[in-house]
Amino acid sequence: RSDYLAFISVSSKFDWHEYLTLAQSLIPRSEPPDRPNQEMECRYRSSISRAYYAAYHIADDYARSNLSYTPVKDGSDHKALADHYSFLWQQTKQEVFDDIACDLNSMRTKRKAADYYAGKAIGYYDADECVAAAEAVIADIADLMAGRK
């Protein structure tokens, strides 16, 4: 994380890791209730959204600075970023790029459901999976930054 903090001091002011910290704090550490109430579902939905955006922005910052990625700055950038990592996997066969692409795509699907579809039930396991995927993406980016992958 210190490598990333040094990196963001140049590229931006907000530390996107704080979104992940918030996402983690929104889901209970103990076994979830069988039937979440509205407050719990709101927490799960918010957790998914914040986890996704933490991973997305960290992966985006890294790709723009290190992987010749140029976002268009519209709604297509979310898919385009995952596609860029997938393209890099196809070119280099470095599995880390495929892992990042798959996790970004999975989280984006969950985030859209959480943010836009009131009729879709969102539960503890959805949020927990999304937070775990965000943690994995962020760890992969840290490893790339440190030259470990």
SS (H, E, C) the chain: CHHHHHHHHHHCCCCCHHHHHHHHHHCCCCCCCCCCCHHHHHHHHHHHHHHHHHHHHHHHHHHHHHCCCCCCCCCCHHHHHHHHHHHHHHHHCCHHHHHHHHHHHHHHHHHHHHHHCCCCCCCHHHHHHHHHHHHHHHHHHHHHHCCCC
Q: What is the pLDDT of residue 5?
A: 55
The pLDDT confidence band at residue 81, using thresholds 50, 70 and 90, is: very high
pLDDT tens string 24-60: 999 987 766 666 688 899 999 999 999 999 999 999 9
Rounded CA-CA distance 69/35 in Å is: 43
> Could you tell me the pTM of the whole model?
0.88
Q: What is the pLDDT of residue 31?
A: 66
Q: What is the pLDDT of residue 74?
A: 84
* More confident: 2 or 142: 142
Q: What is the pLDDT of residue 37?
A: 85
Q: Which residue has the tokens 């890294």?
A: 62
pLDDT tens string 86-141: 999 999 999 999 999 999 999 999 999 999 999 999 999 999 999 999 999 999 99
Residue 10 confidence (pLDDT) above 60: no
The pLDDT confidence band at residue 6, using thresholds 50, 70 and 90, is: low
